[in-house]
Structure 1
Amino acid sequence: MLALSFYILADTFFIARGIGINGLTALNLAIPVYSLINGCGLMLGMGGAIKYAIYKSRNDTFRQNAVFTNSIYMAIIPVLIFVLCGIFLPGAIARLLGADEATWAMTRTYLRVILLFSPAFILSNILNAFVRNDGDPKLAMLATTTGCLSNVFFDFIFIFPLQMGILGAVLATGFAPVINMAILSAHFRKGKNQFHLISLKPDLKLTASTSMLGFPSLITELSSGIVIIVFNFVILNLQGNTGVAAYGVIANLSLVVSSIFTGIAQGMQPLTSRTHGSGDYTVVQKVRHYALTLMLLLSAIVYLFVFIFADPITAAFNSEHSRQLQQIATIGLKLYFVSTPFMDYNIIMAVFLASTERPVPAQIISLLRGLIIIIPMTILLSSLFGMTGVWLSCPASEGLVALIAMIILLTRTPHRKDEQTHAS
């Protein structure tokens, strides 16, 4: 997941260096669409993989293959929607996301290409989740990491020697999941895969259950895009394009940070789903404890790093040496990332609850942090405190959701006997 987040971070760095503030603004306006595409892939992949791991722990071969086949069927609908939007609506979507005359053309280009590559993003997420749950997490990690490195390489080649501008940046991002899938295909060539496509009609009941389990992953990813959209419009009114470019530095770094903890959650998922499926409640709780302990340690390290190096981090993306951008982003980094431990706790708990077949509380946590609390909190605090309120809205929202998540966990954690009964 950390490697996956570098798709956009590499774009941010090379666009900032090779194109400037307007390119950085265009990228930040387009990122929510990337988050939506990636979120759909994660929903289908994580939801299907949770079911797959549970059926695998019970040696139910038919249902294992049925889940994989149905997940591929489910991918067809969002893929068609995204591709059609890429062909016919990129300009309209760019306007809707707030692009002005200075940024519209670049935003439209980025959106068109990223939408046309949506089949690769969605399918690579599905395959990655199933391969990881099929006993080959090293290959899944290798595939994603290699895709990331290819993105960095092509970003440099396309933007600087070939002078392709924003088109080069988005092409580099689009090639990454294609390379990812090429590497994942080794899992099938080795003959170790325990899942494959079978002759099966689309199963609406299975679709509903896997979607519910994967929904928190969609909301986790989508919430980043929604927050970016809301922040973009608020900041445009407060500080204009320079403010949005400054927020672009923060938003992209936030994607990297959240991906670390999404990675912890996804690494936890196969273990909790498998032990939940076999009824071993003690191990389920032990895995959760390890995940949260690691989360607290890494959260402290991340915030200290951001706080100490806020100024040089901003300078790395400030190719035009704008004093306004430098000041806004440096202050923003220090305030915004106070949310780190709360955000990370919410991400891990949503996946933990989903992976143990408790989708409703998982969805509550995801919806609260992604939609219900963050939007009014941003509008309220920005109206009261300006840009300071914008930066503090994320810590305030995530902190409130974390408190609610703790209450949910304490009131809905089953006893060992209940868990074993549910599993059976």
Structure 2
Amino acid sequence: MTKTNLFKTYLKYLLPTLATMVLFSTYTMIDGIFVGQGVGSHALSAVNIAMPYVALLFAVSMLISIGSSNIITYYLGRKDEHRANEAFTIGLFLSFTISIILTLVSYFNLDILVDMLGATDSIKDLVKDYLSVIILFSTFFIMTYIFEIMVKADGTPQLAIVFMVVSALTNIVLDYVFIFIYDYGVKGAAVATGIAQTLPCIGYVIYFRSKKAKLSLTKFKLRLSNLKEIFIYGAPASLTELSTGFIILMFNNALGDSYGEVGLTTFSVLAYVLTLVVNTMLAINQSAQPLTSYFYGAKEYGVVNRLKRYMLVTVAIAGILIFTMIQIFPGQVFGLFFKSDDVEFIKFSIYALRIFSLGFLVLGFNTGIGGYLTAVKRPKYEFIISALRGYISISLSIILIPMIFSHHSIWYALFASELLTLLVSLFLLNKSSELAKK
């Protein structure tokens, strides 16, 4: 394969995947914009409190979908269609089963869940209103994302963007109808989001039952080795997605203690921006991953190295663009979500966003390197990276930085955490290259 053909193939996966993720993040942000503008800042804080649960849903999706996808594309590279279809079927079965269990457990323990998320008394009822609806649509959240990853493994990534556009437009229209026309508040926003996840799920089911799909359901025996293989390859990406919810949870608790509702309201906007950035970087990762896994299975290691370079350059460009836009237009970002005449609050929020966004320059390299390492059969390395950046280093940064300096320095925590993780990522990437030479 020539460099030109490889780059075109990479773009074929990158553009629809990136567009899909950005659209998803954008309509999630629009959900927040409608809530902030139509219901108020209290409601926006309530939705932010609930975001770790939504992150959990997508973490479960990634655990199974990324694990299954890597196995599927690996066997497709080996021309073993039966094993690929078996991995596809097992992935769907596990996703559906786990989603039903998660829905039931969450719904019947709603009060406990709301308390675990750290909802304050002033917004607890709003959090319950929002979560009670989202939980009922949990299966569609999980299955839609599973199908989105599977359709890329199937070789038709452009279909994902079609369904995402349908989902995004549905969410926007229903947000307006339920919040501004019928005044359903946060429950209306949750229903709009749930329906927007349901429609593409139905579309994917129709596609995979058609003759156009290469992957198909087949009989399978669920062995422990199957589960182990899927979880090993899916766990790092799942941890990365779940880490967004964990980071939001950690910041919510720390900022609630230091700044009260002012800090929570500010971070509710930062959380949406963070989700957009993480999803953008994950999209770049997911674009390169199936191709890398395929060519690694085919033992075309020169192609694998070129894909790694494409991925890292794309991550760098995306990080710089996002950071630059935030530095230039921070006030406009907050203006999208709510209106405030409090000049000091706006100054505080802009200050926080500009510093917090330093982490976006580094974040993508950690997710990208981790995804590459899993694709070349080093999932343990990505697990180390995911655990460090999403849990260990961010926890230490949020706790220690304000203690050593001042509570205002907490906004540097993300940058410090990602920078520390990058040192480890580069070490593991170099170690992986050395192992490949042996």
If the TM-score is normalised by the length of the shorter chain, which range does it land in?
over 0.9
Contact 1:114 1:170 in 2 (8 A): yes
Aligned to 1:204: 224
Aligned to 1:403: 423
Match of 1:296 among 316, 319, 323: 316
Match of 2:183 among 163, 188, 195: 163
Is 1:39 the counterpart of 2:74 in the alignment? Answer: no
Aligned to 1:11: 31
Q: Which amino acid in 2 is paired with 1:47?
A: G
Contact 1:17 1:317 in 2 (8 A): yes
Give the Å deviation of 1:319.
Answer: 2.7
Q: Partners of 2:191 and 2:346 in 1: how far apart?
A: 29
Per-residue CA deviation, residues 284-333 of structure 1 (Å, 9 max, x unaligned), is 11011011111111211111100111112112222344445423321111
Aligned to 2:11: none
Match of 2:170 among 118, 126, 150: 150
Contact 1:91 1:104 in 2 (8 A): no
Give the Å deviation of 1:220.
Answer: 1.0
Contact 2:33 2:338 in 1 (8 A): no
Q: Which amino acid in 2 is paired with 1:197?
A: L
CA change 1:19–1:383 in 2 (3 A) is farther
Aligned to 1:48: 68
Q: Partners of 1:322 and 1:279 in 2: how far apart?
A: 60
Is 1:277 the counterpart of 2:297 in the alignment? Answer: yes
Give the Å deviation of 1:79.
Answer: 1.3
Aligned to 1:131: 151
Contact 1:70 1:203 in 2 (8 A): no
Q: Partners of 1:80 and 1:325 in 2: how far apart?
A: 43
Aligned to 2:411: 391
Is 1:25 the counterpart of 2:45 in the alignment? Answer: yes
Contact 1:353 1:359 in 2 (8 A): yes
1:285-364 equivalent positions in 2, closer than 5 A: 285-364=305-384
Aligned to 1:375: 395
Q: Partners of 1:324 and 1:203 in 2: how far apart?
A: 59
Is 1:122 the counterpart of 2:142 in the alignment? Answer: yes
Aligned to 2:128: 108
Is 1:266 the counterpart of 2:286 in the alignment? Answer: yes
Contact 2:209 2:216 in 1 (8 A): no
Aligned to 2:268: 248
Match of 2:82 among 42, 48, 62: 62
Q: Partners of 1:10 and 1:157 in 2: how far apart?
A: 13
Aligned to 2:13: none
CA change 1:10–1:131 in 2 (3 A) is same
Q: Partners of 1:149 and 1:342 in 2: how far apart?
A: 32
Aligned to 1:421: none
**Poorly superposed stretches of 4+, deviation over 3 Å:** 320-325, 384-387, 414-418
Q: How many residues align?
A: 418
What SS does the aligned partner of 1:102 have? coil
Give the Å deviation of 1:60.
Answer: 1.1
Q: Partners of 2:149 and 2:354 in 1: how far apart?
A: 34
Q: Partners of 2:434 and 2:214 in 1: how far apart?
A: 31
Contact 2:284 2:311 in 1 (8 A): yes
RMSD: 1.6
Give the Å deviation of 1:23.
Answer: 0.3
Is 1:184 the counterpart of 2:226 in the alignment? Answer: no
Give the Å deviation of 1:65.
Answer: 1.5
Give the Å deviation of 1:145.
Answer: 2.8
Q: Partners of 1:273 and 1:412 in 2: how far apart?
A: 15
What SS does the aligned partner of 2:260 have? helix
Q: Which amino acid in 1 is paired with 2:187?
A: L
Aligned to 2:14: none
Q: Partners of 1:18 and 1:224 in 2: how far apart?
A: 26
CA change 1:77–1:328 in 2 (3 A) is farther
Give the Å deviation of 1:78.
Answer: 3.0
Q: Which amino acid in 1 is paired with 2:335?
A: A
Q: Which amino acid in 2 is paired with 1:287?
A: L
Q: Partners of 1:355 and 1:367 in 2: how far apart?
A: 18
Q: TM-score, normalised by structure 2?
A: 0.92
What SS does the aligned partner of 2:170 have? helix
CA change 1:332–1:322 in 2 (3 A) is same
Give the Å deviation of 1:183.
Answer: 2.8
Q: Which amino acid in 2 is paired with 1:412?
A: S
Q: Partners of 1:90 and 1:322 in 2: how far apart?
A: 35
